[in-house]
Chains A and B, each alone.
Chain A
């Protein structure tokens, strides 16, 4: 347990000291979302209709571009093999690292999303659903992304491959994440969509450690 906490604290400290990493992800998120009003025009009605989808897609891309941070640096400087040789099972290490990724990516995205929703004129009754859906969906993004990051850790410039692997797996989160917000705006029940997102999150929590750890062990051979 102490080892996992040390790992989490170190990853957070690295993210803060290296600066930029959190800021860059957020900057990417904000700029991508801002491009839409410029691209499709300032029609409030159109914007409010696409708001949820735009925010979710931008959040996914922002999460995606920071995925290589999870394992890449540790793999390249030899830290990963030493961590793998530590007494902590690699499966739990993966969970700790995915959590660190969420805290430095998903959480800032979650905090910024309501502001961008205002920019896109999201109807007021969609806000709570957006936050709830992102609270369940963004950790799943980090977890599923960790599988892709582990699979491409040994690949030089594996960024494109990583997106090809991970983005299709993000589709269910996108569908139900947007559906939850739409339901709230339309006055329908939000709970089923959130329940599916919760299910996806639980599934990812269970599957990610095994898949990522297996991929990392292969990469370390």
Chain B
């Protein structure tokens, strides 16, 4: 399976962010997005998820335009954005179970428990999310990736507020995902130590004179 973008153009508030951008991710590949603030890393991930419409260009999944059926495209991706999307009054496990169900995953299959285990959240499972630290909240958000399997991971600064142990945990999870044939596009400033990951450098757009 190949996910690719061709000649993508992104415009935010009449200001061009990038233009003519191409990328390509295949099975088991990790693509790291690099670039200065405002280079369009987040915008590219949001375009890939379908949250943001590209002003031009095409998104292709296995050669077929992704915008043919957005619901189908959404079904094969998981997105981690800047916000953790946790409900403060629900416990960690309840939050995760909700996201699993919304994505059509059977909770009884035990995926949620495994995800909690994997992100070292076992002891926090019954704690309401409002008592979590920023790093713990981020880990719950990342556990969502494990609780609801998806082919394509779009991670926007996933290491925000994670400590070194948790960052290593995340790198391990991403490596595992790729090893099982998954794809990931990650915008990050931190070196996650992902051997074999390809890099895509985004340049701030400058008008040609």
Which residues of A pack against B, CB within 8 Å? 2-3, 5-7, 10, 13-14, 17-18, 77-79, 81-89, 220-221
A17:B104 contact, CB within 8 angstroms: no
Which residue in A5, A6, A79, A87 is a CB contact (below 8 Å) of B85?
A79
Task: Return the 7 tightest CB-CB contacts between A and B, nearest first.
Answer: A78-B83, A6-B101, A78-B85, A17-B89, A87-B75, A79-B85, A3-B102
**B81, A78: Cβ atoms closer than 8 Å:** yes
Select which of B49, B83, B87, B104 is within 8 A of A85 by beta carbon: B49
- Residues of chain B within 8 A (CB-CB) of A220 are 51
Q: List B residues at the A interface (Cβ < 8 Å).
A: 49-53, 71, 74-75, 77-79, 81-87, 89-90, 94, 98-99, 101-104
Residue contact B89 to A86, C-beta cutoff 8 Å = no
Q: By the criterion CB–CB under 8 Å, are B102 and A7 in contact?
A: yes
- CB of B98, distance to nearest CB on chain A (Å): 5
Given A2-B101, A81-B51, A17 and B83 touching (CB < 8 A)? Answer: no
- In Å, the complex CA distance between A82 and B87 comes to 13
A77-B85, A79-B87 as given contacts; A85 in contact with B53, CB under 8 Å = no
Residues of B within 8 A of A7 (CB): 102
Known: A85-B51, A86-B74. A3 touches B87 (CB 8 A): no
Residue of A nearest to B78 (CB): A85
Q: Is the CB of A87 within 8 A of B51?
A: no
Alpha-carbon distance between A86 and B101 when the two chains are bound, in angstroms: 10
**Which secondary structure dominates chain B's binding surface?**
loop
User: What would be 21 A-B contacts, judged by CB atoms less than 8 Å apart?
Assistant: A3-B102, A10-B98, A13-B90, A13-B94, A14-B90, A17-B89, A77-B85, A77-B86, A79-B87, A81-B81, A82-B81, A84-B51, A85-B49, A85-B74, A85-B79, A86-B74, A87-B71, A87-B75, A88-B71, A88-B102, A88-B104
Instruction: Say how far B127's CB is from chain A's closest CB, in angstroms.
Output: 14
- A6 and B98 contact, CB distance less than 8 A: yes
Given A78-B85, A86-B102, A87-B71, 10 more pairs with CB closer than 8 A: A6-B102, A13-B90, A14-B87, A14-B89, A77-B84, A79-B87, A82-B85, A82-B99, A85-B50, A85-B77
Cα of A141 to Cα of B75 in the assembled complex, Å: 32
Which residues from A are CB-within-8-Å of B78? 85
Residues of the A chain whose Cβ atoms lie less than 8 Å from the Cβ of B50: 85
- Enumerate chain B residues within 8 angstroms of A10, measured Cβ to Cβ: 87, 90, 98
A19 CB, min distance to chain B CBs, angstroms? 9
| A78/B82 contact (C-beta < 8 A), A3-B101, A7-B102, A86-B103 known | yes
Bound form: Cα–Cα A89–B50 in Å: 13
CB distance from B86 to the nearest CB of A (A): 7
Q: How far is the CB of B58 from chain A (nearest CB, A)?
A: 18
* Assembly CA distance A13 to B81 (angstroms): 25
Question: Which residue in chain A gives the minimum CB-CB distance to B83?
Answer: A78
Which residue of chain B has its CB nearest to the CB of A18?
A: B89
A77 to chain B, nearest CB (A): 6
Knowing A6-B101, A18-B89, A79-B87, the reply to whether A89 touches B71 (Cβ < 8 A) is yes
Q: Within 8 Å CB of A87, what residues of B?
A: 71, 74-75, 103-104
B82, closest chain A residue (CB): A78
